[in-house]
Amino acid sequence: MNRNKTILYSLILAFTIVAPFAFPNFGTQLATLWLMIIVAITWDMTGGQMGYNSLGNIFFYGTGMYVAALITIGLTYDVGDYTSAAGGGIYEFTDLEYFGGMALGILGAGLFCSACAIVIGWLTFGLRGPYFAIGTLGVAIAAGELVSNWEWVGGGQGIALPVYPGDFDTGKTYFYFLFAAVGIGAFLFARWLYGTRFGSAINAIRDDEEKADAMGIHTLRYKLYTWAMAAFFVGMAGGISAFQLIHFEPLETAYQTINLGIFMVVCVLLGGKGTLWGPVVGAILFHLFKEVTWNYLLGWQWVALGALIVVTVVYFQDGVMGWLVHKKPEWFGIRVEKKVASGSK
Amino acid sequence: MTTTIDVSGVSKSFGGVVANREVSLSVNTGTITGLIGPNGSGKTTLFNSIVGYHPIDSGSIKFESSEISELSVQQIARRGLLRTFQQTRIYGAMNGVENMLISLPHRKMSIWDALKTFTREDYERADHLLEFVGLYEKRMLKSGDLSFGQQKLLEFAMALMNEPTCLLLDEPTAGINPTLINGLIDRLKRANSEFGITLFVIEHNMRVIMNLAENIYCLAHGELLAQGTPDEIQNDQRVIDAYLGAH
């Protein structure tokens, strides 16, 4: 890593640490921004790097929420009693039960979602292009409907988790740092993965899967593992959201296909598909745009958001990073070289 | 002499069209074998059958003495039997070096090996082979922007990167200009003699195939018409009739 990059990374890290203290009124907004970054980076792992546009990644978010909540509750109480006790019993959690349950719950959510990705991927990776997108969307919608009819996990009412035991502002900062940690983890993981042979193999699948087959690449294996890695981070993000939101229900919060499920795709398209920084840049721009319109264009916010999607898809398909590659190819190492090969003769 | 590919009695039809009928041929280890025939005579279908692209109706295909007609494209490729496409297929969004690195053989690569970065040797090998096909200077350009002929050369280099024991080439010189063709013939011969790769080549350009192959098979209407050395094939009345359409 050269000096400029080291400085850039240090500045971003410093800002990440200082931000919730410097802008205390925006604590929840900043936490949501990290959530956007996580789902955008992980969506790009399959969508941008592997060429499989999933509209079902929200399934892992929702499932992560439920798994984390059920693990935390189940470690201390009977889940059936807890969820059916709306307005009834009072359930106290000690600090150990709360934080211990949360740690196991978030990790368990990630692992469970990875396993789900292997199973769903095995069933859906035979589909290509738009069929894969619709197929995975179907999985997410079906999961929301199934869960909302499953009384043991609270049915349509969802689940209410215990409140953060400390004071309110500390809680906000606490969840911000949880999201930030997973986000930084996802970014560093993606950065490392795209530099390996594994990364090249999934790029090969994106560019020409038949050719990759013909070259002997284990295409299905790579597709399953990639989606499982993405699902791990999304599942953990879902688990954190469950505790941050305190109460969640299946259709609008957990399996929110039309909100976060679409936002993650727009973030990536806006920032630039198939690039490392694209999803991050896109998530920041999108979140800014969304919050500004929600504040100053209330009533028209969905129209503005729709217009952003249309403009991005029709006129700006390569996104910010794609546009930069086009304008400044030499920054990205695209050049004609005249040097004699070091390995030849 | 051992055989690398042994095709016996292979038939394949698509609906009512019989693309291959009872085709039997063999490719000897370490040689360059040619496959010619008029358009629609079933050459590419035979290639597709050999590499597992579609199941065959009957017959047997052996690679290094083991049956491969039931295996998938990937499994056959990992055994070291590779093909290039008539319509060139490269990874267009990546540059030449990346195309080469992706083509490293996956037959020995476990998932843990895959999680390593490319080594210095990998890069050197990629550079060396790009130099071998004459694309070294253009190796950092997006390969989708290369000319068709250059893409063909890149595809050939990618196939070599995969260290195959046998390479099936579907019209390697189609769309390449005449001066480049001589260089390509030379490189194909060197791939055979220096790297020890057995070649099985479909070719329409008679000058190329007569210069290249030691043994040539001719297909017509899905059936094997003739077999022999370039001289024998050139003077075979049936082959001349098939190409001139005297039927």
DSSP string, B104-117: S--SS--HHHHTSB
Q: Give residue A197's pLDDT.
A: 92
What average pLDDT score do residues B121-131 get?
93
Q: Which of A216, A274, A336 is the closest to B78 by Cβ?
A: A216
Encoding tokens for residue B39? 């358009």
Chain A residues whose beta carbon lies within 8 Å of the beta carbon of residue B109: 197
Q: Which CATH superfamily is domain B1-80+164-247 in?
A: P-loop containing nucleotide triphosphate hydrolases (3.40.50.300)
State the amino acid at position A334 in one-letter form: I
Q: What distance in Å separates the CA atoms of residue A256 and residue A62, rounded to the nearest whole number?
A: 8
Taking an 8 Å cut-off on Cβ atoms, the answer to whether A343 and B94 are in contact is no
Per-residue pLDDT tens digits for B15-39: 889 999 999 999 999 999 999 988 8
As annotated, the residues of chain B forming the CATH 3.40.50.300 domain(s) are: 1-80+164-247
Per-residue pLDDT tens digits for A20-73: 898 888 888 999 999 999 999 999 999 999 999 999 999 999 999 999 999 999
- The CB density around residue B65, as the number of other CB atoms within 10 Å, is 9
Asked if residue B171 has pLDDT above 50, the reply is yes
Taking an 8 Å cut-off on Cβ atoms, the answer to whether B98 and A203 are in contact is yes
Q: Give residue A344's pLDDT.
A: 40
Taking an 8 Å cut-off on Cβ atoms, the answer to whether A334 and B141 are in contact is yes
When the pLDDT of each residue in chain B is averaged and rounded to a whole number, the result is 90
At B79, phi and psi to the nearest 5? -80, -10
What average pLDDT score do residues A108-116 get?
97
Q: Chain A within 8 Å of B237 (Cβ-Cβ)?
A: no
| Strand segments (E) across chain B | 3-14, 17-28, 32-36, 58-63, 66-67, 81-83, 166-170, 198-202, 215-220, 223-228
**Cβ-count burial of A285 within 10 angstroms (0-12 exposed, 13-18 middle, 19+ buried)?**
middle
Asked if residue A345 has pLDDT above 70, the reply is no
Taking an 8 Å cut-off on Cβ atoms, the answer to whether A216 and B93 are in contact is no
Task: Render the burial of A214-240: b for 16+ CB within 10 Å, e for the rest.
Answer: bbbbbbeebbbbbbbbbbbbbbbbbbb
Domain map of chain A by residue range?
Answer: 29-256, 258-334
What average pLDDT score do residues B195-220 get?
91
Those of residues 44-63 in B touching chain A at CB distance below 8 A are: 51
Task: Render the burial of A112-140: b for 16+ CB within 10 Å, e for the rest.
Answer: bbbebbeebbeebbeeeeeebbebbbebb
Q: What separation in angstroms does the CA of A165 have from each of A2, B133, B243? A: 44, 67, 86
B60, B35, B39: which is closest to B50 by C-alpha? B60
Q: Chain A within 8 Å of B111 (Cβ-Cβ)?
A: yes
Asked if residue A278 has pLDDT above 60, the reply is yes
Better-scored residue on pLDDT, A237 or A25: A237
* Rg, C-alpha atoms of chain A: 21
Q: Give residue A108's pLDDT.
A: 97
Q: What distance in Å separates the CA atoms of residue A150 and residue A335, rounded to the nearest whole number?
A: 58
Q: Chain A within 8 Å of B116 (Cβ-Cβ)?
A: yes
> How far A283 CA lies from chain B's nearest CA (Å)?
24
Where does the pLDDT of residue B123 fall: very low under 50, low under 70, confident under 90, or very high at 90 and above?
very high
DSSP tally for chain A: helices H, then strands E: 14, 2
Query: Where do we find the tokens 């499994």?
Result: B75
